[in-house]
C-alpha cells in the first residue's frame, strides 16, 4: 500500500451523505433568502417613507434614511466594489463550508450572515451608482446618536456572528 493511500482511508463516520449536504444547504439558503426578502422589503419601505423626514423613536433612536457607499460605520467610502466582491466570496464560501457542519443552529447563524451579505450586495449592484457595485447600501435604523445607522442585513450579520462565535466556543 502506498503511503498516500492511508490519507484516503475514511471511516463511514467521516463521509457526509449527499442528503445531509443537501439538507444543510437548503437550511442555509432558506435562512439567507428570508433575510434578503425582509431586508429588501424594509429598505423599499425606508426609501418611500423616510425620503423627506425622520421618525423619532424611544431612547434617542430614530429611523433616518442614509445612502452608505462605504462599509460598516461608513468606513471605506468609495470601496464598494471591494466590499461587494468580498461579500459575494463569503456567501459562496459559506455555501461550500456548510456541508461539514452538523449543528442546525450553526447553519442558522451562517444563513443569517449569508443573507445579510447578499442583501447589502444587492444594494451595491442595483442602486444608483457610478459603475460596477458602486450603488449605495440603504441604511435607516439609528439606535443612538453615537451609533451608526444600519439596516436589517447588518442586524442579521451581527446576530449570525454572535451565534457562530457562541456555538464555536462551546465545541
**What's the rounded Cα separation, in Å, for the pair 140 and 68?**
10
Q: Is residue 9 among the annotated active site residues?
A: no
Q: Which of 51, 54, 139, 145 is catalytic?
A: 139
3-state SS string over 68-117? ECCCHHHCCCCCHHHHHHHHHHHHHHHHHHHHHCCCHHHHHHHHHHHHHH
Number of DSSP helices (H) and strands (E) in the chain, helices first: 4, 4
Q: Is residue 14 among the annotated active site residues?
A: no
Q: Specify the DSSP element, H or E, that contains 66.
A: strand 62-68
Q: Which of 56, 100, 145, 154 is catalytic?
A: 154
**What's the rounded Cα separation, in Å, for the pair 119 and 102?**
26
Query: Active-site residue numbers?
Result: 139, 154
Amino acid at each position: 500500500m502506498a503511503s498516500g493511500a492511508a490519507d484516503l482511508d475514511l471511516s463511514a463516520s467521516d463521509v457526509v451523505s449527499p442528503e445531509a449536504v443537501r439538507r444543510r444547504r437548503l437550511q442555509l439558503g432558506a435562512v439567507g433568502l428570508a433575510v434578503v426578502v425582509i431586508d429588501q422589503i424594509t429598505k423599499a419601505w425606508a426609501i418611500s417613507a423616510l425620503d423627506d423626514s425622520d421618525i423619532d423613536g424611544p431612547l434617542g433612536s430614530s429611523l433616518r434614511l442614509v445612502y452608505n457607499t462605504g462599509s460598516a460605520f461608513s468606513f471605506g467610502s468609495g470601496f464598494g466594489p471591494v466590499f461587494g466582491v468580498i461579500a459575494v466570496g463569503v456567501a459562496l464560501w459559506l455555501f461550500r463550508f456548510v456541508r461539514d457542519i452538523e449543528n442546525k443552529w450553526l447553519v442558522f447563524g451562517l444563513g443569517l450572515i449569508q443573507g445579510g451579505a447578499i442583501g447589502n450586495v444587492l444594494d451595491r449592484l442595483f442602486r444608483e451608482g457610478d459603475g460596477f457595485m458602486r450603488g449605495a447600501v440603504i441604511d435607516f435604523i439609528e439606535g443612538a446618536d453615537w451609533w451608526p445607522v444600519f439596516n436589517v442585513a447588518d442586524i442579521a450579520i451581527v446576530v449570525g456572528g454572535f451565534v457562530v462565535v457562541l456555538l464555536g466556543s462551546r465545541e
